[in-house]
A = this chain, B = another copy of it.
Amino acid sequence: MEIIVQKFGGTSVGSIERIQNVANRVIEEANNGNKVVVVVSAMGKTTDELVNLAKQISKNPSKREMDMLLTTGEQVSIALLTMALKEKGYDAVSLTGWQAGIETEAVHGNARIMNIDTARIHEHLNEGKIVVVAGFQGITKDQEITTLGRGGSDTTAVALAAALNAKKCDIYTDVTGVFTTDPRYVKKARKLQSISYDEMLELANLGAGVLHPRAVEFAKNYQVQLEVRSSMERERGTVVEEEASMEQNLIVRGIAFEDQVTRVTVQGLPNGLHTLSTIFTTLADHGINVDIIIQSTTNEDTTSLSFSIRTEDLEETLNVLQSHKEILQYATVEHESGLAKVSIVGSGMISNPGVAAEMFKVLAEHGIEVKMVSTSEIKVSTVVQQSKMVAAVEALHEAFQLAEEAADAPVVS
C-alpha cells in the first residue's frame, strides 16, 4: 500500500456540508487501496475572525500568542473532518501539528519546518486509520506552538509527503488546476496538464495564488509530485513535477499579473557601495516588501533608484524615506501609483533569448507602455498602467498561443 497526502484548504472545509464532501474525497482514495494522510486548513473565514479578535485587544499582538490563537482554527477542522470520516464508517484519527511530530524552528508566525517525526503517523496508518493532520502548525524543541506563515498548510502537506515518502501529494483547492492565466480576467485561459516546479515557483511568487511558493520549493527540493485540483469538481488537475518529465521547449507556460503596484523613484542618491543595502535594509526593517528594483547611474556622483511596492505600503514607504533622509542622503523622491505587474513564465525561455523582446513588441503593438522590467531565467516581468493590465495579459496570451491545446506540446520560436 502506498501513502497519499491530500490537502484541503479553508474554502474546501468552509461548512459542514463541504467537510462532508471532503470526507467523500478522502474515502475515495482510501477505497483505492491507499494509506491516506489528510492535511486541512481552518474553516473558511475562521482565521480572519480570530485575527480580528486579537486586533481588538492589541494593534501589535504578541506573535507567540497569535500562534496560540490561530492554531485553534485547524484543530477545529481536523476534529470535524475526523468525525465525518468515522460517521461514514471509516476509522480515522486527528492529530495536531505537535502530535503529528512536526518540529519547527523557534520562530513565531513564520516558522520553517526542521524535522518531522513520522512515528505516530505511521503507527496510525498501520492500524488502518486515515490520519487527519492540522496544517499550518508545528512545535519547537521547547514545546512552543508555532505557525508556518501564509500558505502554511500547503507546506505541511508537502513536507509530510516528503517525510512519509508518499506516492503523491494532492492539493485540493477551489480552482480546477493551474491556468495559463487568471480565467476570471481572460476567458481564453486554459488549464495546464503539467508545469515544472520552477515555473510554478515563478507563478506562485507572481501572485497566481494557487500554491504557496514555500510549498513548491519544498516539493522541488524533495521531488514530491504535486497535483493541484478541485475539491468540488471531479476532473484531473495540474501536475507539478520536475522538468525532465515535461516538454522542454515550451517557451511561455503562463501569464501572471497583479494590480495595486506603485513605482517609487529616489533621485540623487550618493554613489557608493552601501547605498543600495542601506535603503533596502531600512525599508525591510519597516516591513515594506520591495519587488522590482532598477538602478541607473545618471551622472558620476549620484544614482537614481526605482523600485516597485504594493500601493498600500506607499504612505509608510514615504514616511520611512522622509525620516531617514539624513542617513540616505538622497535629493528627491517621486512616485507613481495606478500600475500593475504583468509577467510571462516558462522554462523554455532559458534557451530562447528572444522572448523578452517578443513580449515588448507585443505590448508596444497594443500601445502599452512598459514602465519597469525585471527578468529571471524563466520569467519576464513588466510594470504597466493598471488600466491596461488585462489588455496586456490578453495580448500576450494570444501572442504566445496559450489558449491552444498545443501549448502543452513543443513550441519552438
Contact = CB atoms under 8 A, between A and B. Distances in A.
A18 to B, nearest CB: 12
A251 B155 CA distance: 66
A69 B80 contact: yes
Nearest to A69: B79
| Count class of interface residues, chain A | 35 or more
B65 A86 contact: yes
A80 to B, nearest CB: 6
Given A57-B84, A99-B143, A79 B94 contact: no
Contacts of A57: 16, 19-20, 80, 83-84, 87
A72 interface: yes
A83 B54 contact: yes
Contacts of A278: none
Contact of A68 (B19, B66, B78): B78
Contacts of A145: 96, 99
Contacts of A68: 75, 78-79, 82, 94, 96
12 contacts: A16-B56, A16-B57, A54-B79, A54-B80, A57-B84, A58-B84, A61-B83, A68-B82, A68-B94, A68-B96, A99-B145, A120-B143
- Give the dominant DSSP class at A's interface: helix
A160 to B, nearest CB: 18
Contact of A82 (B50, B62, B71, B93): B62
A402 B58 CA distance: 47
A99 B87 CA distance: 31
A53 interface: yes
A56 B80 CA distance: 10
Interface of A: 16, 19-20, 50, 53-54, 56-58, 61-62, 64-66, 68-69, 71-73, 75-76, 78-80, 82-84, 86-87, 93-94, 96, 99, 120, 143, 145
A61 B82 CA distance: 10
Given A16-B53, A20-B57, A83 B65 contact: yes
A50 B83 CA distance: 13
A134 to B, nearest CB: 9
Given A62-B83, A72-B73, 6 more contacts: A16-B53, A19-B57, A58-B86, A62-B86, A68-B78, A69-B76
